[in-house]
A and B are shown apart, each in its own frame.
Chain A
Amino acid sequence: MIFNKLSRRFLVIVTGLASMFSMSAAHAEYALNMTESVTPIGQQLYGLHMLVLWICVVIGVVVFGAMAWSIIYHRKSKGAVAANFHESTTVEIVWTVVPLLILIGIAIPATGTLLDLEDAKTDADITLQVTGIQWKWKYTYVDEDVSFISSLAQSSRDVVSDPTGNENYLLEVDEPVVLPINKKIRFLFHSSDVIHAWWVPELAVKQDSVPGFINDSWATIEKPGIYRGQCAELCGKDHGFMPIVVNAVTEAEYEQWLVSKKEEAAAAAASAEQEWSMKDLLARGETVYQANCSACHGPTGAGIPGAFPAMTGSPVVLGDPAGHIDVVVNGKAGTAMAAFKGQLNDVDIAAVVTYERNALGNSVGDMVQPSAIKNAR
């Protein structure tokens, strides 16, 4: 009776699941297997993955097949009488040697692929330094004097409570990294705080970024397109919210993009020269605060007790502006407080310092101009 009821309920669940499967099969982006790559090495990895997978499937069929056979035919209820053999050196040798041969069959292509993956042989055309920062990425084109921060896009931050229908939710950034196709790109990974890992499945690049040390990796992108990835090493609270977007374009478009980035930097430097009003600083400061500081110090400045200090009533914020600027610009060694000098320009830092001093429940009343920040770099 009970069993019947249970099995009926089971049927309901199974059909429910089946309908979910068929529903989702309608979605095109629904993936079961490893992402196919747009780099030659990535395609090699995919081939190796499929090879090992199929070897496992074949071994599985043999082993589970033998098991199923004895479960079906060698059962007591069918009158099977137990044999008494319990040793055979020949058999033992066979099933030690055969797997060994299979492993050699896997190891040979794997070794070749690994050597290709660690290819330092040919010169890279472009060197990109990637710095992991809690919880964003900094990209520096070391030959071009172009450098910027890339963090989770506001369009994703706005919908965390209900992201339904938000395409590329958590995989969108404010400032994608732009790379030319058909060029050998050398990535140099570095971290300014904890260990992160830069991973873009379609580029087949996943490498840890370690504080104090550099790691490298290579990729040649063969197809223009937008490739998305995420941090792959637990790096604290917002580990799940530091995506990577690579925009692979033609060389001409890449050159054009470099020029526009340099112009942008020049314009920002010019705006730092002028005096800013309190109103403008506060307005800009709020945006900067919410994008860069609120993850730890809280949207209202309350912090997380025991983990991250509050802004409201903080002695640093209420104290001398120079000390406050020093902490924001240079960070605080031995804590999670990052140095923002490499992340924000003079105007942004001046704005956010002013904002912290005069909002979030604080009212010091003074104002910090971009020139003060320039002096502190």
Chain B
Amino acid sequence: MTFSAGFLEVLVYGSIAWCAISVIGLGVTLVPDIARGETW
């Protein structure tokens, strides 16, 4: 029994999209912290 091409596709595209969302999410999360002066 082997992993299908569809599964590999979901895994690869999903992980790359997830990383891209993380970059944007981190940037977006920093903005309100900066605005409130609560970065650290």
A binds B: no
B-side residues, CB < 8 A to A, are none
